[in-house]
Amino acid sequence: MKKDIQIGYEHFKSINELNETEKKLFESAKQARKNAYAPYSNFLVGCSVLLENGDIYTGNNQENAAFPSGLCAERTALFWIGANFPNEKIKKIFIIGGPREDSENTPPIPPCGACRQSLMEYETKQNENIDVYFSSLNEEVYKVNSIKDLLPFYFDATFL
Ligand code: THU
């Protein structure tokens, strides 16, 4: 029998529709994107992460000549936060991606599958949802209230 899964998301035509905290996260991610080390793909991704204590940390993609050795912006930030603030809950992550040139015409860039899986791990660990925003320099934004909306049929520790 065929069944449907419903996921929820919000779409904002511009960052002007976001609140002040969200705008701040957009700006932080945009700033972080500038420091991406992406000489091979020339695709720059930055992200900002809001913790429960109000602090914001950022990450960007870090590539390597041995291609698989690099890491996405989201996991660069998440693993650093996990390493340094293991007990601090993650409230929101804001992602901005696009090619080095001409990013103004790029649509919102969603997180890759591996980053969704990592985000799911932290959402499960803290037992509280994480808001995920993804955008680009064209300032259009998508938002989900939980990684579950990005990763139906997710694999987690309950299967181990
Ligand atoms: N990338 C990210 O940083 N995050 C994603 O979710 C998608 C892809 C990076 C990896 C690589 O450095 C470049 O973008 C092109 O795939």
Would you say residue 50 has pLDDT above 80? Answer: yes
Res 108: pLDDT = 97
Would you say residue 103 has pLDDT above 80? Answer: no
Cα–Cα distance measured from residue 35 to residue 2, given in angstroms and rounded to the nearest whole number: 46
Res 5: pLDDT = 93
Q: How far is the CA of 115 from the centre of ligand 1 (A)?
A: 9
Q: In the chain, what are the domain boundaries?
A: 10-149
* Cα angle 83-144-52, degrees, rounded to a multiple of 5: 40
Task: Please give the number of the atom of ligand 1 that sits closest to the Cα of 63.
Answer: 12
Does 112 carry a binding-site annotation? yes
In this predicted model, what pLDDT tens digit does every residue of 19-44 receive, in sequence order? 999 999 999 999 999 999 999 999 99
Greatest CA separation found in the chain?
49
Task: Please give the number of the atom of ligand 1 that sits closest to the Cα of 38.
Answer: 12
Q: Which of 20, 52, 63, 74 is catalytic?
A: 74
Q: How far is the CA of 3 from the centre of ligand 1 (A)?
A: 32
Res 102: pLDDT = 79
Decide: 73 in ligand 1 pocket, CB within 6 A.
yes
Helices (H), the chain: 20-33, 73-84, 113-126
CB 50 within 8 A of CB 21: yes
Res 104: pLDDT = 85
List of residues 6+ apart from 120 with CB closer than 8 A: 147, 148, 151, 154, 156
In this predicted model, what pLDDT tens digit does every residue of 105-139 receive, in sequence order? 999 999 999 999 999 999 999 999 999 999 999 99
Provide the pLDDT confidence category of residue 1 given band limits of 50, 70 and 90. Answer: very high
| Two structure tokens written together for 139 | 């300032």
Decide: 93 in ligand 1 pocket, CB within 6 A.
no
Choosing among 3.30.930.10, 3.40.50.300, 3.30.450.60, 3.40.140.10, the CATH entry for 10-149 is 3.40.140.10
